[in-house]
Amino acid sequence: MSGCCCSAPAPAPDPRAPRLAAVILAAGYSSRMGEGFKPLLPIGGSSALARAIALFRAAGVAEIAVVVGHRADELAPVVRREGAACVVNPRYAEGMYTSAVAGIGALDPEIDACFLLPVDVPLVRPSTVRRLAASFHPDRAVLYPTFRGRRGHPPLIGRRLFAEILAGDGAGGLKRVLAAHAADADEVGVFDAGVLLDMDTPEDYARLCGREVRDDCPTAEECAAILSEAGTPEAAARHGRAVAGVALRLARAVGGAADADLAVAGALLHDLAKGAPDHAAAGARMLEAAGFPAVAEIVARHGDPAVASGAPDAAAVVYLADKLVREEVRVSLDARFRPALDRFADDPAALAAATRRLEAARVVAAAVEARACIGLDALLDGVSPLPPAAAEAEPGPDAALGTTESACPVCLRRIPAARVAEGGDVFLRKTCPEHGDFKTVIWRGAPAYAAWGRSVAAPAHPATCATEADRGCPFDCGLCPEHRQQSCCVLVEVTQRCNLACPVCFASSGRAAPDPGFDEIAARLRALRATGRQVNIQLSGGEPTVRDDLPEIVALARGLGFGFVQANTNGLRLADDLPYLRRLKAAGLNCVFLQFDAVTDAAYRRIRGRDLLAVKERAIRNCAELDLGVVLVPVLVPGVNTREIGDILEFAIARMPTVRTVHFQPVSYVGRFPHPPADCDRITIPEVLRRIEQQTGGRIRAADFRPGTAENPYCSFNGEFAVGPDGEIASLHGEPRSGCCGEGDDDAAEAARRFVARRWAARAEPRESSCCGAGVATDSFDAFLETRRHTLCISGMAFQDAWTLDLDRLKQCYIHVALPDRRLVPLCAYNLSAIGGETLYARPGP
């Protein structure tokens, strides 16, 4: 390798400045890419072809030739628009060697060397091309860029090989020609994993779309290579990974103020030159030489209290993160600085300097908390160091988290997506050819994403399908043959009217659409029964209690044989109209699915637009009077009610057995929500579980919860708990169960339906009864629980929106909406809406 590119300047160029050209090979069929055509695939905000041309332009290469063949008429306009020369290879069907011949043959005879880049290697940095150019000497036949010792693209081929390539017969390809001159070849080390990354298949393409495309910022594996090349002590590298984990969480919390990628790179590399005099300045110089000036500035300032003078940008975030980590352990600012303050007690100058650093860290921390609307301890809960990235130089490590398909949040077209892990968090990344790149957090911290998803329900395709798989998911819902789960709960919308105007709402309430008639609703219910499958029914809207005939609809559903019917309600009418509630109970309503977001009116005003706590309490008291089971349903909105999770659970425990379940729903951005969400606007399943443990003082632990057994594991969580007379709480996971909990049941959706029907309805008196239809004696464990202690279910459902949509999850959905035309649509597909409000199935709001 010709030198370390972070410890020495690039080799001096030949005194006679060489003339360099670039040949981009884009003539092939893209046969392994399926329906995609590689040159025109979008990546990093442009097509692969346009990106390749821009690469060489940015690196200062003046003469650029693009060789086209297959679909040349589509590529030629792109080439001309980007200012490159278009070379048509009529022999492209014979293989890539003929394209190399066509491209080199079209160059000016005075060209000294040319770069040769296949169009399917789209992530090379301009700094790599510049370094190769600076390293060129006529004595060398070919220069190869290498990353961690592996050769990549583009090679820089000297003019001395041109005649041999042009005269070759193509046997053995270009590789044979270059191998014959191995003695005259050289390697140039670069910190650019992109030289190794190509895209031959749809899986390759999705994986590359899942990578950040940043010319100014090294990735985690590139940072690891820089640390290795610089000889950074392992202890300093481990400290950097711990700081990076904190910096990543802080940067995401402050939104656009801090560039998260630069913050991570700066944190990983801030002690790059540890042990050298003025190690911050020394590390910055190394990074300048490597081509990363923005990261160099962060490293130079990571010990400078002056970073606190402005907004919490990436440099300020790294400064604070460094002060929150001692060695590899996250600590408080007081714990981090106390030893220094004590040590310098008799040294006024040193004490003043340490105090300035502490005060600067406090200023940055306050700015972060103000922007994140959450305290620093809660914000950093569960954060972990970034994992070592040494192995990530191999293409394809993110495949462990998988690729999928999603939708563009702007136009809702189906697009490829990748699940990518970054420091214990997981993101969904995707690219729309028209609207660019999107990246959204879907999982934060422990429990680990991979461990949570180990148990996946076996596919259970619908017995009957109302539609064919024509356009593909999510456009053919009915259900279609591609769906992988039977129905468990079916929502029947009985109105679009509502008596609230909530800022946060799944439905676009307030619409003027007329209510469906009783006969229309009856037809939907009869169509469901005609399938022969038992499902739970949720009467929804809008607000279903605005219908005076809702009791008659309940009675109809029960009369048709549906064993469990619940009403999804805000509780306004139930709080003040006890006779109406009596009619619902008499009609056979099993459960009230009650919107219940908080135990403070301040949160209700922000989420629902008015004070509602007293209304909710009256509704629950009325249900208790009639022995009607209640499920509390909090929609969790970061910075609004996520500090009330523990209080909501205490509220529920105090009102058992009327309250049977608390069912949390992390906010998703559909319906009337007014703006595209940032990652700090989201709370993920593991964060909910950790807050439950923290806010209950450990009485309920995150480890007490499991993923659902019928739906995709990343959709939900559930736990079942016994609450004793003195308030003690015991998890029932692992206790003996009847078949109703799904163990050993081949029909996971049916097992889940039975469990909900039994646990969410009003508590039955102790009796010899059936547990989901099977006889269970009064001395069985379940009967013992009924007689000696109350049980509380705590569950949650993470509904998807256009940013988080994962079609693998959607295909396993078992909560469906009954449409007027008798089709069934998964709830997340039904509510899916684009930024402009367009939907696939639900009627648009006002």
CB 244 within 8 A of CB 423: yes
Tokens of 263: 């913050």
Query: Which CATH code for domain 220-379?
Result: 1.10.3210
> What pLDDT score does 213 carry?
65
pTM, to two decimals: 0.64
| CA 794 – CA 337 distance, rounded (Å) | 41
Residue 34, both tokens: 């399926």
Rounded to 10 degrees, the C-alpha dihedral 764/766/769/774 comes to 90
Paired tokens of 735: 């206790």
Cα 304 to Cα 264, 300, 308: the distances in Å are 18, 8, 9
What single-letter amino acid sits at 16?
A: R
Among the listed residues 524, 539, 670, 659, the one whose alpha carbon sits nearest the alpha carbon of residue 599: 659
How many of the other CB atoms lie within 10 Å of CB of 423? 22
Q: Note the pLDDT of residue 34.
A: 79
Peptide bond before 657: cis, by omega within 30 degrees of 0?
A: yes
Decide: 196 and 222 in contact? Cβ < 8 Å. Answer: no
Of 593, 585, 536, 558, which Cα lies nearest the Cα of 772? 536
pLDDT at residue 503, as a whole number: 67
Please state, in angstroms and as integers, the Cα–Cα distance from residue 214 to each residue in 211, 482, 808, following that order. Answer: 9, 37, 29
Task: Write down the domain spans for the chain.
Answer: 20-199, 220-379, 458-721+738-757+791-831
Closest CA to 395 of 174, 6, 121, 28: 121
Point out the residues of the chain with pLDDT beneath 50: 1-4, 7-14, 390-400, 508-511, 735-744, 764-789, 844-846
Q: Which residues contact 761 (CB under 8 A, 6 or more apart)?
A: 564, 590, 591, 629, 660
Instruction: Report residue 212 as tokens.
Output: 């950040």
The count of other CB atoms within 10 Å of the CB of residue 151 is 13
pLDDT in tens, 196-248: 999 988 878 877 776 666 888 998 889 999 998 899 999 999 999 999 999 98
Any residues with CB less than 8 A from the CB of 474 and at least 6 apart, and which? 407, 414, 805, 807, 810, 826, 829, 832, 840
Asked if 593 and 616 count as a contact pair (C-beta separation under 8 A), the reply is no
User: If we measure between CA atoms, which residue out of 652, 660, 623 comes closest to residue 764?
Assistant: 660
Classified as helix, coil or strand, 610 is: coil
- Distances 668 to 23, 453, 576, 636, 673 between C-alpha atoms, Å: 47, 21, 30, 9, 9
* Whole-Å CA distances, 767 to 472, 519, 724, 770, 785: 49, 38, 20, 9, 12
User: What is the helix (H) or strand (E) element at residue 825, kind and residue range?
Assistant: strand 824-826
Structure confidence at residue 456 (pLDDT): 63
- 361: tokens are 């860290």
Strand partners, 425: 422, 444
Residues in the chain: 846
Tell me which CATH code domain 20-199 carries: 3.90.550.10
Q: Radius of gyration over alpha carbons of the chain, in Å?
A: 31
Residue 82, both tokens: 């980007």
Per the structure block, which two tokens stand in for 823? 């089709």
Q: Could you tell me the two tokens for 552? A: 């008659």
CATH no. for 458-721+738-757+791-831: 3.20.20.70
Two structure tokens written together for 45: 């905000």
pLDDT tens string 565-592? 999 999 999 999 999 999 999 999 999 9
| pLDDT of res. 67 | 96
Element (H, E) at 436: strand 436-444
d(CA 507, CA 839): 12
Residues 6+ apart with CB under 8 A from 687: 381, 382, 444, 445
Q: Under DSSP, is residue 418 helix (H, G, I), strand (E, B) or coil?
A: strand
Distance CA 743, CA 758 (A): 16
Separation between Cα atoms, residue 204 and residue 242, nearest integer Å = 30
Pair of tokens at residue 97? 């060697």
* Distance in angstroms (rounded) separating the CA atoms of residues 156 and 534: 67
Residue 111 in tokens: 């060209």
**pLDDT at residue 843, as a whole number:** 56
Closest by CA to 669, choosing from 488, 797, 800, is 800
